[in-house]
């Protein structure tokens, strides 16, 4: 795991080496073990290394191919590098690293190599002969890659802050992204919160040459269709693919541990390592002394069953509160989530672990969220659309009066929708603020619905249309919330502590297989039914049958007391933005303080975070 940076088009720069040094220095936390730079006629590349595989300095980057034609800077891991190496017999290897296999594979297969890689990666490859630069990102967006194009140059990096550190990228807020951020607590790729800075889309690469730039998609989650329908066969294939995915992610020359919340996904990973792979792990659970916010009993149960070297890190909520400013400073791109990941990563790293396995992705691939059961149920009630919209609106208004809150407000929005299909229903479920609230906040803003746009674009693929309903919902989750909130937050918060997080459930071979499983096999009568039944012998019933909880913090209490001044100061920054309705934002805050169910902490906190991010990064509106 590392940090990469580069500039294509340096002819008119006075000191491009100083610029790239500033960019890599800003990412020291991503790679404290080594730093390297490479300069060519019109290009500079920079790298910060966190040594994971082949710790020898010969594997430091930038890394050059044997013939000197290709130079690589690479962030991530190629888990199947040993298998690929066996197919590269005509290449003379000098290291045992996946980095050199990346270079050798590109030398032999060109961009087709990206489809052969099993891993997480963001990389830049310079072709000295053809004078082309390739920027590539992994299939599901585990590793980030941002870029900015000026009139004469292209800047790219693993972090937004690295681009800003160049001094060549204006620190300007992308005002047009504000409605999207307020609506979904994030900005979806390729857009960002910095004006003219873009994020490379998942499963794609850019080919950049003199006066040319072309984007190519190399993967979609519905690739490699299968026709398995037998339950026993499907469960067997799920077991084999997930076990292989976990095994691959244990490859490292540094200590490997696992986050253990005591939920289905993390418990299953620990069980696979212990009983299928016969290895012992260090496991980590951050627990609170307040039982209302603790999952420690379930984590302890799993750790005892599988004999892991368990670390229960007992945390007083006030200790976490004291660390919150540092957690927010680690936030490269604003988000409504993240501090939880920061604290778990810090404590895991403090115990000497450099790589941690995470259960992230299990819900998206195996239908673990409520939305997987709710959308099909609503779709079956299409007869409601035969009623006039004003009657449906009255029904929703009555429900809202009886049970005030965001859940009822979203139900009303569903009732007055024109269609009960994925494109119109799913965006409602993921909203943080509703359209009328956005319009009150930004009365002059022109905006659409980014999530609806993403699903609309997916629906243009015949292959997507033919997938089972639950698979289409899963791809919607992976393309929106998972990619732009969960994965981005996991990356920036773990790398703040130089900790690499690996996600076995997002192995692309497992995803491709799961997306073609029929709904009657996967249907969530209980949480992640197919996954649980595929590993009956590994998941304790106390874990599989318990209510989903998650890592919970007392935000409501904090924001009305200990964090009240902090929040108000950050909200003041947001109120000063162009076209912002200061009065309405004040009303939202007052409603929250009065415990109005329409404005819970999760509706306000993303706005607070945005204000803090603007201050920390000196962003101008």
Q: Are residues 203 and 225 in the same domain?
A: no
In a domain, 410, yes or no: no
Q: What percentage of the chain exceeds 70 in pLDDT?
A: 98
The pLDDT, as a whole number, for residue 429 is 95
Q: Is residue 519 part of a domain?
A: yes
Q: Sorting pLDDT into bands at 50, 70 and 90, what band is 287?
A: confident
550-559 residue pLDDT tens: 666 788 999 9
- Return the pLDDT at 289: 66
pLDDT at res. 525: 80
Chain mean pLDDT for the chain: 94
Q: Are residues 167 and 272 in the same domain?
A: no
Ramachandran angles phi, psi of 380, nearest 5° = -70, -15
Judge if 295 and 190 occupy the same domain: no
The predicted structure's pLDDT at residue 554: 82
In the listed set 548, 567, 583, which residue is the last one of a domain according to the structure? 548
Q: Which residue, of 171, 190, 217, is where some domain finishes?
A: 217
C-alpha to C-alpha distance for 528 and 591, rounded to whole angstroms? 37
Check whether residue 232 and residue 209 sit in a common domain.
no
Residue 346 counted as domain residue: yes
Is 324 inside any structural domain?
yes
pLDDT tens digits for 247-260?
999 999 999 999 99
Give the domain range for residue 589: 555-617
Distance CA 449, CA 179 (A): 9
| 21 contact partners, CB below 8 Å, separation of at least 6 | 37, 46
Average confidence (pLDDT) over 181-191: 97
Kindly state the average pLDDT of the residues 578-582: 93
pLDDT of 288 reads 72
Domain end call among 548, 579, 603: 548
Helix (H, G, I), strand (E, B) or coil at 584: helix
Total tally of structural domains belonging to the chain: 3
In 3D, which of 617, 610, 600 has the Cα closest to residue 577? 610
Looking at the predicted structure, is the pLDDT value of residue 203 above 60? yes
pLDDT at 319 (0 to 100) = 83
Residue 40 contacts residue 74 (beta carbons within 8 Å): no
Residues 543 and 452 in one domain: yes
The distance between the two most distant Cα atoms of the chain, rounded to a whole number of Å, is 73
588 and 476 in a single domain? The answer is no
The reply to whether 182 falls in a domain is: yes
Mean pLDDT over 2-25 rounds to: 95
Read off the pLDDT of residues 478-517 as tens digits, 9 standing for 90 and up: 999 999 999 999 999 999 999 999 999 999 999 999 999 9
Three-state DSSP state, 517: coil
| Cα–Cα nearest to 28, from 187, 215, 165 | 165
Q: Are residues 121 and 17 in the same domain?
A: yes
Q: Is residue 405 part of a domain?
A: no
Residue in 484, 483, 427 with CA at minimum distance from that of residue 452? 427
Same domain, residue pair 196 and 247: no
Looking at the structure, tell me whether residues 334 and 483 fall in a common domain: yes
How far is it, in rounded angstroms, from Cα 554 to Cα 556? 6
What pLDDT score does 51 carry?
96
The overall pTM is greater than 0.85: yes
Residue pLDDT, tens place only, 411-457: 999 999 999 999 999 999 999 999 999 999 999 888 889 999 999 99
User: pLDDT: is 293 or 329 the higher one?
Assistant: 329
In a domain, 394, yes or no: no
DSSP-assigned states of every residue in 200-266: PPTTEEEEEETTEEEEEE---TT-S------HHHHHHHHHHHHHHHHHHTT--SS-EEEE--SSHHH
We report the CATH number of the domain holding residue 529 as 3.40.50.620
Residues 72 and 170 reside in one and the same domain? yes
- Mean pLDDT to the nearest integer, 163-180: 97
CATH of the domain at 163: 3.60.20.10
pLDDT band at 106 (very low <50, low <70, confident <90, very high): very high
User: If you average pLDDT over residues 71-77, what whole number do you get?
Assistant: 97
One domain, residues 311 and 374: yes
548: pLDDT strictly greater than 80: no
């Amino acid at each position: 795991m590392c940090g990469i940076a580069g500039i294509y088009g340096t002819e008119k720069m006075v000191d491009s080496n100083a610029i790239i040094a500033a960019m890599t220095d800003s990412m020291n936390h991503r790679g404290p073990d080594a730093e390297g730079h490479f300069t060519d006629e019109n290009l500079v590349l920079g790298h910060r290394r966190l040594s994971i595989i082949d710790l020898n300095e010969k594997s430091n980057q930038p890394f050059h191919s044997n013939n000197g034609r290709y130079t690589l800077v690479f962030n991530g891991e190629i888990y199947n590098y040993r298998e690929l190496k066996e197919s590269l017999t005509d290449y003379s290897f000098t290291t045992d690293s996946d980095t050199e296999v990346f270079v050798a594979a590109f030398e032999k297969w060109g961009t087709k190599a990206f489809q052969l890689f099993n891993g997480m990666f963001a990389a830049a490859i310079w072709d000295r002969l053809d004078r082309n630069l390739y920027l590539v990102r992994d299939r599901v967006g585990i590793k980030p890659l941002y870029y900015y194009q000026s009139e004469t140059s292209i800047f790219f990096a693993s972090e937004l802050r690295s681009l800003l550190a160049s001094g060549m990228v204006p620190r300007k807020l992308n005002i047009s992204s504000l409605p999207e951020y307020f609506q979904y607590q994030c900005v979806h790729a390729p857009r960002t919160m910095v004006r003219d800075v873009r994020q490379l889309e998942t499963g794609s690469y850019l080919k950049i040459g003199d006066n040319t730039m072309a984007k190519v998609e190399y993967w979609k989650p519905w690739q490699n269709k299968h026709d398995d329908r037998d339950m026993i066969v499907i469960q067997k294939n799920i077991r084999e693919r997930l076990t292989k995915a976990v095994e691959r992610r244990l490859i490292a020359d540094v200590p490997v541990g696992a986050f253990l919340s005591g939920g289905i996904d993390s418990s299953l990973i620990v069980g696979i390592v212990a009983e299928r792979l016969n290895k012992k792990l260090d496991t980590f659970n951050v627990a609170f002394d307040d039982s209302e916010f603790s999952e420690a009993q379930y984590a302890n149960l799993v750790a005892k069953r599988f004999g892991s070297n368990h670390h229960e890190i007992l945390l007083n909520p006030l200790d976490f509160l004291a660390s919150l400013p540092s957690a927010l400073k680690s936030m490269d791109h604003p988000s409504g989530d993240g501090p939880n990941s920061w604290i778990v990563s810090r404590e895991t790293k403090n115990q000497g672990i450099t790589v941690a396995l995470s259960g992230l992705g299990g819900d998206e691939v195996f239908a673990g969220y409520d939305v997987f059961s709710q959308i099909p149920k609503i779709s079956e009630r299409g007869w409601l659309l035969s009623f006039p919209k004003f009657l449906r609106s009255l029904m929703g208004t009555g429900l809202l009066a009886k049970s005030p809150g965001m859940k009822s407000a979203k139900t009303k929005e569903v009732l007055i929708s024109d269609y009960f299909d994925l494109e119109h229903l799913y965006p409602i479920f993921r909203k943080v603020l509703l359209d009328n609230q956005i319009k009150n906040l930004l009365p002059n803003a022109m905006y659409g619905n980014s999530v609806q746009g993403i699903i609309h674009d997916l629906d243009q693929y015949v292959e997507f249309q033919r997938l089972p309903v639950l698979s289409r919902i899963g791809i919607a989750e992976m393309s929106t919330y998972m990619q732009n909130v969960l994965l981005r937050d996991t990356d920036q918060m773990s790398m703040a502590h130089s900790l690499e997080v690996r996600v076995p459930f997002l192995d692309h071979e497992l995803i491709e297989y799961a997306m073609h499983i029929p709904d009657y096999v996967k249907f969530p009568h209980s949480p992640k039914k197919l996954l649980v039944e595929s590993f009956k012998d590994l998941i304790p019933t106390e874990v599989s049958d318990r209510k989903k909880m998650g890592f919970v913090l007392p935000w409501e209490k904090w924001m009305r007391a200990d964090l009240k001044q902090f929040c108000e100061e950050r909200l003041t920054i947001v109120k000063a933005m162009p076209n912002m309705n200061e009065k309405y934002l004040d009303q939202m805050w007052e409603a929250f303080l009065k415990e109005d169910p329409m404005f819970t902490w999760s509706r306000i906190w993303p706005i607070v975070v945005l204000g803090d991010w603007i201050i920390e990064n000196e962003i101008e509106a």
